[in-house]
Structure 1
Amino acid sequence: MAEAGGGKERLLRAAVEYVAANGVGERSLRQIAAALGTSHRMLIYHFGSKEGLFVEVARTMEDRQRELLSELDAVEGDPLEVARRFWARLADPVLWPHERLFFELYGRALQGDPAALPLLDGIVDTWVTALAGPMERAGAAPEVARAQARLGLAVARGLLLDLLATGDRAGVDAAMEQFVAMYAATLPR
């Protein structure tokens, strides 16, 4: 729990933990603030609105996922094993509340919701850059690596939507494995 009046970073950490444990639901900003041990005024001060808070939670989770990708790449080195292990982490049910929030905010931003629009800043490019790195280190030309990274991002997001909608973990895992196998065929030998 954050203390009343706690700093922005402490409140954000508490909000990330809260969303992970409870999802978003139809909670009011006052209810969220109470759960975080602060006031709704402090959340408005730091994040502007409930949606602003949720955008920051989604960005924080995206940053953590990119950090995990970087850590896996540093340990594994093999981009195929990195992809498999990264997918296993993304598809973990523990992350489903965050992923539902991400897709909800993404849709709202695409509809022009001013509170959600900031989520679109770098929503593709930051991932393309992060995903292209391992591919380039495996020998792919930079332009090929970026195109493959964009495709991989689209596949992963599509499969996450599928997983959240259907709960068919075996089916989406099989589809991701098929994608990884197709990607493996494109790597320089």
Structure 2
Amino acid sequence: MEAVPMDTSADHGASKQAGYRRSTGTPRGEARRRELLERVTDDLAVNGLVDFSLRRAARAAGTTHKVLLYHFDGADDLLKQAVHALREKRVDQARTAATDGATRRTLAEWVRAVWPDLVGREALVLEQAIGLAMYDPERYAELGRGASSQYLPVLLSVCPERWSEQRKLEVAEMVLAALRGFLVDARTSADTGGIAAGFEALARALEREEAAGT
């Protein structure tokens, strides 16, 4: 995880300063907004958050920064929506991984199934978003909080049904924290052996937790 240098000072609050008319949520306007967001999201997935700006987003979307300001509240709003969209794709994959065909996976099996996607190169931008939230929490705290809020429901759904809601929450939060720690190591160190050993220890701990009584 890294602090991501971004120069959005000229973009921050630009929509208010320029007084551009915002999209009113008409079907046509909403379709255009989704199209622009998808193009910016694709750019982030490939190029990451480093040096993200409204003008870079406009180039990726094939439009002008004024058009983006018609549909979004500046660079920060666009960035947050794009990161949310990227996470939703990851969450969909995590949700799909909750079953193995017609069989519901155990929590330990699920963790093993989703790890390759979480640590893949294409997911780097999401760890950069967490780094940005740490670097400037006053401005980007939502990027950090959003990660847990998006993944938590999937984790809760994979926990054994016999568990109490409190136990599900405790274990789900623990898994999120542990995976986040492993991701930090994966992005910032070359200790692949240590990460693999720690990850297997987590999976075995979950197996014991699931095998224990209520």
TM-score (norm 2): 0.74
Deviation, 1:186, is 0.7
Q: Match for 1:86 among 114, 120, 145?
A: 114
Does 2:203 align with 1:175?
no
Opposite residue 151 of structure 2, the aligned amino acid is: W
Deviation, 1:136, is 2.9
State the Cα RMSD in Å. Answer: 2.3
Q: What is the match of residue 38 of structure 1?
A: 63
Residue 167 to residue 94, structure 1, CA distance change in 2 (3 Å): farther
Deviation, 1:29, is 1.6
Identity between Structure 1 and Structure 2 (%):
22
Q: What is the match of residue 131 of structure 1?
A: 155
Residue 167 to residue 53, structure 1, CA distance change in 2 (3 Å): farther
Deviations 1:47-98 (A, max 9, x none): 3122221111211122222211211113352222211011111011221133
Q: What is the match of residue 132 of structure 2?
A: 105
Deviation, 1:167, is 4.3
Whether contact under 8 Å (1:72, 1:86) holds in the other structure is yes
Residue 161 to residue 46, structure 1, CA distance change in 2 (3 Å): farther
Deviation, 1:145, is 1.2
Aligned pairs for 1:148-163 (under 5 A) are: 148-163=171-186
Does 2:96 align with 1:96?
no
Deviation, 1:123, is 4.2
Does 2:209 align with 1:186?
yes
Opposite residue 81 of structure 1, the aligned amino acid is: E
TM-score (norm 1): 0.83
Measure the CA separation in 1 of the matches of 2:125 and 2:193. Answer: 20
Deviation, 1:109, is 5.7
- Is 117-126 or 57-66 further displaced after alignment? 117-126
Specify every segment of 5 or more residues in structure 1 that has no aligned partner in the other structure, as ranges: none
Whether contact under 8 Å (1:15, 1:57) holds in the other structure is yes
Residue 35 to residue 176, structure 1, CA distance change in 2 (3 Å): same
Q: What is the match of residue 143 of structure 2?
A: 119
Measure the CA separation in 2 of the matches of 1:90 and 1:124. Answer: 14
